[in-house]
Amino acid sequence: MTAIITALAALFTRDARIAIRIGGGAMIGVLFFLTVVTLVPFAIGPDLALLRRIGPAILWLGALLASLLTLDRLFASDHEDGSLDLILMGRIPMEIVVLTKAVAHWVTTGLPLVVASPILGLFLNLEPVALGSTALTLLVGTPALTFIGVVGAALAVALRRGGLLMPVMVLPMTIPVLIFGVAATNAGVGGTVPFATPFTILCALTLMSAVIGPFAAAATLRHGME
Amino acid sequence: MALIDLANPTRFLALVERVLPWLVAATVLAFAIGLRGAFLAPDDYQQGATVKIMYIHVPNAWLSMAVWGVMSLAALGTLVWRHPLADVAAKCAAPLGASFTFLALVTGSLWGRPMWGTYWVWDARLTSVLVLFLMYLGLIALWRTIDDPARAGRAAAILTLVGAVNLPVIRFSVDWWNTLHQPASVFRMGGPTIDVSLLIPLFVMGIAFTLLFLTLHLAAMRNEIMRRRVRTLLLTQAERA
């Protein structure tokens, strides 16, 4: 049992180290997030009142895109150097391995987004309550985005020219998370809906995807390999 | 003939050759009866003759959901029972399902323009059908991206099953979204209480479209089996050269 935990800890550390060191590191996701938030006022104009109203939605969309676009290399690099086959042949259930890799991805990509979101919310003229509300819902919701995204990452392993296919497949499945994430953020600021309602549903979505995502991804990796 | 006998592609093709002409005839007959019934059916007291779009729109919407169900069963056949023709069935059903969904969206949009005054509105049902259409297209893209048909079949089967889980989630969550953000009610048209004089042609058209799907699906499966045989022959020839 402890051997498995040691192995998983080693896998987690390896994934975290690779994510931090390579390709701009963990900050590349935050940089993309910042770019998206900067682009939006160029597109819709600098009207501060409008930005304040749609600010939470922009932050959620930015977090969603940043998570998805960093996910498709999750298994591909392991597949290329053969370590994915070794892990598949090992004794640890593939579902647990996928779960560990997904958590490592979230800690190195999703968590920096959550930390950066209040600062970026200032660019969008959000009030302090909205900043806190957005950060909290992103904290709970970005793991769901990662767990749903690993299914697409597993499907994208074997594709030579994945391109946009993986985001296209995964985005419809992240729609409920997006809906309830923004709903919870807006409910936290005020309005007729109590904060707890969409927030608990968001928590439920994260928990459900934590189970369904790794199972589906592990099945794909096992069956999809030649 | 047990279902497992149909796992043999040659036997399956023989069955299709026997059954297909009858299915085509049945489809044409069902459409003839349904369209005649649709023409003769009375007008709606509110919508007038425009209600007749319903006879095209509603069966397409039914089938768009039902085809995903068929694909999910085929996906189970691939992953659980390893039925050889299950992935052929899934691959051929996807474009048909996408077409039915597209037709449902287009006919619904054309119906909405005179009735609601707009081609589109982001209410729960329209949005979830649009998401279903996107999922069909993503699935078709996945089928076309992986070369080996067996491997593509397994990957697509998993995506189909995950999508099947997600469809009620989306439908339910979009209901919530629309209620949370847009408390204004959408113009509801012809609720569940449709008069039987309109209901019977609707059911006949539903049967007609289902027969259409069956016919096209079996024909497409036959074509796909032929296509795979050609591919195998080409590969063998290339290996020998």
pLDDT tens digits for A119-159?
Answer: 999 988 899 999 999 999 999 999 999 999 999 899 888 67
Q: Give the count of domains, chain B.
A: 1
In sequence order, what are the beta bridge partners of B137?
none
d(CA A192, CA A198): 12
Q: What is the mean pLDDT of residues A175-183?
A: 93
- pLDDT tens digit string along B174-217? 887 776 654 433 334 545 567 788 888 999 999 999 999 999 99
Q: What is the mean pLDDT of residues A8-30?
A: 84
In a domain, B4, yes or no: no
In a domain, B225, yes or no: yes
Interface check B24 vs A, CB under 8 A: no
Interface check B176 vs A, CB under 8 A: yes
Nearest to A224 among B139, B154, B180 (CB): B154
Contact A184, A195 (CB under 8 A): yes
Interface check B76 vs A, CB under 8 A: no
Domain range for B200: 19-41+50-183+196-240
Of A88-102, A160-174, A177-191, the range with the lowest mean pLDDT is A160-174
Is A226 in contact with B148 (Cβ distance < 8 A)? yes
Question: Is pLDDT above 70 for B236?
Answer: yes
Phi, psi of A54 (to 5 degrees): -100, 5
CA distance A36 to chain B (A): 24
Interface check A165 vs B, CB under 8 A: yes
Nearest in space to B189 (alpha carbons), one of B110, B116, B128, B100: B116
How far, rounded to the nearest angstrom, does the alpha carbon of residue B196 sit from its chain's CA centroid? 26
pLDDT at A102: 95
CA distance B212 to chain A (A): 28
Question: Is pLDDT above 60 for B38?
Answer: yes
Is B176 in contact with A151 (Cβ distance < 8 A)? no
pLDDT at B186: 37
| C-alpha to C-alpha distances, A100 to A29, A74, B185, nearest whole angstrom | 20, 12, 45
Interface check A149 vs B, CB under 8 A: no
d(CA B155, CA A172): 17
Interface predicted TM-score (ipTM) of this complex, two decimals: 0.82
pLDDT at B183: 43
pLDDT at B182: 45
Interface check B90 vs A, CB under 8 A: no
Of B33-42, B160-169, B170-179, B198-207, the range with the lowest mean pLDDT is B170-179
In a domain, B32, yes or no: yes
Q: What is the mean pLDDT of residues A65-85?
A: 86
In a domain, B14, yes or no: no
In a domain, B1, yes or no: no
pLDDT band at B33 (very low <50, low <70, confident <90, very high): very high
CA distance A27 to chain B (A): 30
* Mean confidence (pLDDT) of chain A: 89
Q: What is the dihedral of CA B130, A184, A174, A87, to 10 degrees?
A: -170
pLDDT at A55: 92
